[in-house]
Structure 1
Amino acid sequence: MHALKRWCCLCFMLLSVTGVYAQQAPPAISLKTLLEKVNQNAPSLVADSALIGIKQAQSTETHNNWLPNLRLNYQADVGTNNNTAGPYFGFGIVPSNSRGVRTQSNNSAVLTNLGIAALEWEVYNFGAYAAQNRVATAEVDSEEKKFAQAKYNLQAYTIGYYLQLLRLQDYLDIQAHNIKRNEQIRRSIQSLAKSGVRPGVDTSLAEAELSKSRLNYIELDNQLKQVQLKLSAISGLAYEGIVPDTTVEQALIAQMAAPAQLDADTAGHPAIGYYQSLLNASLQKEALVKKQYNPKIFLEGAYWGRGSSVDANDNFNALSTGWGFSRGNYLVGVGISYNLFDIRRKNLKRNTQRAATTYARKKLDEEKNLVALGLSQADVELNTARRRLQEIPNQLKAATAGYRQKLSLYKSGLTDIIELNAALNILYRAETDYAQAKYAYTSALFQKAVTGNRVNTVLNLLN
């Protein structure tokens, strides 16, 4: 009866473990599909695209700065009409009171009304309008290039985590195989212990190794889900559905000669393009400084009508007679305006903008150097990973043969559980080293593709 209970418990545990490792997984998602989802749904890209709309609206606003001002004004006023001789500055707060000086003050109320249509148009400013438009266009281009750089960085982020998913999936598969090997060893030990060939302590050691391998599986599964959650946050997909396509690694390894054809596209590199756009915008602002302090030519015109309760004979009539316009006038003129002190202001502001241009140029040079360094590092990593992949099969083959020999010797009673576990650990390490070697190669390959702006070339190798 006791043996039956142990057998049932063993079957239940085996079925539980099998159920965990043999769950039907959702269909795999390709890297290209995941990148498309990220480009469509990433919250940061949605926000950045709104900034482009803001810059485009500001550009449209700037392109309409040439429009004239046509103001319509009307007012009706009640007050006195007394003047005295002498000049003064209005300061914008002294009301106007038209009429010659009287010999006596008259405090009788007067009703007047005034309607004005005034036009003011900066017809020509010696290229300032065109310079403003070029700056606005350059700022839109900078925002678009910044958005492209954000997509580029997010693309690299997505690829990095997708490759981590592949590596963790490999580790999970290896750990599942390790669990099965430990279960096989435990069953053999239990059989040998019952027949008295092996001591009972070997059973405890086998149980400990099996439990350890299960705990490792649980930890790896947790790490996999954490990466899935990070990709879910930027792709809008349910994290359970982000299952990597495990054929990616073998497909890229099978075409190991292809990376030699990945010539860098630095001219269209998003990071370099962004800093180039900042430099162009700064140069356009520098040109604007030269233009915005130039003379300005204005076209001005006005028509106005007036009415008053004071007549031409200086009679203060009833207030009601002040309604309506009794006089009308117009005025048209062309003027030019230039502030001589703007010469000094222009030089100071131009020096400031030149410093900004110098900074933008140095940042562009820095980015070019970083890209060149990244390409060199990627080449070194790729060559190292290729050599490692060529050597790893020897380690894996030897470790597999060693484990099989130790297992056979153990079953024959010619070695102990310690040496068998050591052989098993060597095999496990060789398998994980192989998974790490595959990850290192694909990671280095995509690093070179991302740094050299050739991601689509590598993605096409997966078709």
Structure 2
Amino acid sequence: MNIRFIALAVLCSLSAMSYAQTLHLPDALQRSIQNYEKIKAKEALVAASAENTNYQKSQYLPDLTLMAQQSYGTINAQNGPLYSYGGLGIASTSMPLAEQNWNAAFGSLYLANINWNLFTFGRIKNQVKLATADQKIAGADLEQEKFQHQVKVGAAYFNLMASQRIKYVQEKNLDRARVFMTTTVSRAESGLIPGVDASLAKAEVSNAQSARIKAYDMELEYSKTLAVLLGEDYRAFILDSIYINKIPRLQEKYVANISDHPSLLWQRSKVESSEKAEKLQRSNALPSLSAFGVVQGRGSGFDWNYVQDNTAYSSSYKNGAGIDRGNYLAGLTLSWNLTNVHRYGAKVREQRYKTQALQNEYLLISDELSAQAQLADAKLKNAIENFEETKIQIKAASDAYRQNMALYGNGLTTIVDLTQSLYALNRAEIDYEIAQNNIWQALLIKSAALGELSILLNAI
């Protein structure tokens, strides 16, 4: 069996089992941003950027380190230089002994250390500002993603409506062709007209049936597209009939500030973030002032006179785990890597060029949206004018079809003339439906260009 007909049967059965519920456009727009997975992903990114901002703010807090260490080993030492690369050396301290021995005892170290960056010349402050700007980018990206997605849903909604209306027109055309065939076959069997007219009438019904199936196939495609954008199961949709019974209530002039367009707000937030990054790179070249403090306690199983008497030690854990000596240390550190002035100067200039590039992109998007808004105005005007023309065409085609049907029934015209009038009426009805749909589509384009879907929703 043809896969297309299987799909038709499945969709019809789903439609029959489900209760009829009209999908209104405002509801579709709202449901789409609640269910669409990409929007959920960007909401998670916004939450992640907020946590990064909290992390950067925590950099104002001092570093507090607690350590407790207990060890067991020897303390042989000798005079000589030592460089502990990467901190992998050991601290075996005593006066140098005459020869190696393997006397071992327990030792301990207890430490509390605090380090606080008192003044970083704006580096931490700029890190927080940059994180906040990145959080703003994530939020603006989420909002523009929601807006763009709702525009896609609106376009899919009207495309599905157009396909449903075309299917409706083809069903009407099929009904007319069947009436025409019934009349023709009856007269041919009575010998009033040639038998070939009956064959042509049957071919016309077959052609109308094929056109209806193709229109239904297109409806299935747009139903799938809308279901995906809504984040819902694939099913048949009943759409709001107001879009086929009325045209939009158009205002003389729409008041909308294009600078508030979600895409421009997103781009502007990226420019601001780049400016914050430039300030951070500049502050990285400045010095930093830190305060530090250390409290230390040490214990050892080796007695104070071990150098003179190598038997003055104890391998007992209790003797080495306690605290025998204590020290404290406090001070300030001012550090400035002077080569950073040159090093970060290049990074500042690099970031400045990136900011300029983002500003140029902002201007480009602004120009494109302005041009799109003007194009939408022209399209909307043309769509309304074209819709008025299709009214004339459908009236003329309807009159011609009725006239030719009456003439053919009385044997005053040929089947060719009747078929041509049937084609003309079918084409006029399709043009009428598309023209009416194009008015709403043009208004959607205008709303998308101005960043205000309320323009479309308020015209209902």
Q: Distance in 1 between matches of 2:230 and 2:221?
A: 14
2:367 aligns with one of 353, 364, 369: 369
Moved more, 149-158 or 390-399: 390-399
Give the AA of the match of 1:366: L
Q: 1:100 aligns with which of 95, 102, 125?
A: 95
Are the aligned partners of 1:142 and 1:277 in contact in 2 as well (CA < 8 Å)? yes
Distance 1:52 1:252 in 2: 39
CA contact (8 A) 2:162 2:433 kept: yes
Matches within 5 A, 1:292-441: 292-314=284-306, 315=309, 316-320=312-316, 321-441=319-439
Unmatched segments (≥5 aa) in structure 1? 1-18
> Residue by residue, what CA displacement relative to the aligned partner does 1:327-368 show, whole Å, maximum 9, x if unpaired?
111111111111111111110111221121122111111111
Residues 1:147 and 2:142 aligned together: yes
> In the alignment, which residue of structure 1 is the partner of 2:9?
none
Residue 58 of structure 1 is matched in structure 2 by 52
- The amino acid that maps onto 2:276 is Q
Deviation track 1:240-268 (CA, whole Å, cap 9, x = no partner) reads: 35221121244334x2x42x322333122
1:303–1:331 CA contact under 8 A, matched in 2: yes
Shift in Å at residue 225 of structure 1? 1.6
1:439-458 equivalent positions in 2, closer than 5 A: 439-458=437-456
Letter in 2 for 1:374: Q
Q: SS of the counterpart of 1:89?
A: coil
Match of 1:138 in 2: 133
Q: Identity of paired residues, percent?
A: 28
Question: For the residues of structure 2 that align with 1:397 and 1:107, how far apart are their CA atoms?
Answer: 114
* Pairs within 5 Å for 1:77-116: 77-91=71-85, 92-102=87-97, 106-116=101-111
2:201 is equivalent to residue 206 of structure 1? yes
Match of 1:274 in 2: 266
Query: In 2, distance between residues paired with 1:455 and 1:183?
Result: 44
2:64 to 67, 70, 73: 70
C-alpha deviation, 1:402, in angstroms: 1.1
On the 8 A contact 1:111/1:322 being kept in 2, the answer is: yes
Q: Give me the whole-angstrom Cα distance separating, in 2, the residues matched to 1:250 and 1:447.
A: 21
Q: Distance in 2 between matches of 1:275 and 1:93?
A: 49
The change in CA–CA distance for 1:189 and 1:323 in structure 2 (over 3 A counts) is closer
TM-score normalised by the chain length of structure 1: 0.90
Q: Which moved more, 1:104-113 or 1:148-157?
A: 104-113
Which residue number corresponds to residue 163 of structure 1? Answer: 158
Q: Choose from 268, 274, 279 the match for 1:287.
A: 279
Q: 1:46 aligns with which of 36, 40, 50?
A: 40
Task: Give the alignment's TM-score, normalised by structure 2.
Answer: 0.91
In the alignment, the residues of structure 2 paired with residue 145 and residue 138 of structure 1 have an alpha-carbon distance, to the nearest angstrom, of: 10
**How large is the RMSD of aligned CA atoms in angstroms?**
2.1
The answer to whether the Cα contact below 8 Å between 1:174 and 1:432 also exists between their aligned partners in 2 is yes
Instruction: Give the whole-Å Cα distance in 1 for the aligned partners of 2:236 and 2:327.
Output: 78
Match of 1:195 among 160, 178, 190: 190
Compared with structure 1, are the counterparts of its residues 238 and 309 closer, same or farther at alpha carbon in structure 2 (3 Å cutoff)? closer
Structure 1 residues 249 and 274, CA gap change in structure 2 (3 angstroms): farther
Shift of residue 382 of structure 1?
1.2
Secondary structure of the structure 1 residue equivalent to 2:50: helix
Check conservation: 2:37, 2:231, Cα contact below 8 A.
no
SS at match of 2:240: coil
Residues 59 and 136 in structure 1, CA contact (< 8 A), matched pair in contact too: yes
Residues 285 and 187 of structure 1: CA distance in aligned 2, closer, same or farther (over 3 Å): same
Is 1:173 paired with 2:168?
Answer: yes
Kept after mapping to 2: 8 A contact 1:301/1:331: yes
Query: Is 1:265 the equivalent of 2:265?
Result: no
User: Does residue 223 of structure 2 align to residue 231 of structure 1?
Assistant: no
- Greater displacement, 415-424 / 392-401: 392-401
Quote the Cα distance in structure 2 between the aligned partners of 1:322 and 1:245: 85
Counterpart-to-counterpart distance in 2, 1:445 and 1:81: 86
Which residue identity is paired with 2:254?
L
How many residue pairs match? The answer is 440
For 1:171 and 1:364, how far apart are their aligned partners in 2? 41
SS at match of 2:130: helix
1:32 counterpart = 2:51 = no
Residues 39-77 of structure 1 show CA distances to partners (whole Å, capped at 9, x for unaligned) of 111121112211111111111111111222221222223
CA contact (8 A) 1:192 1:198 kept: yes
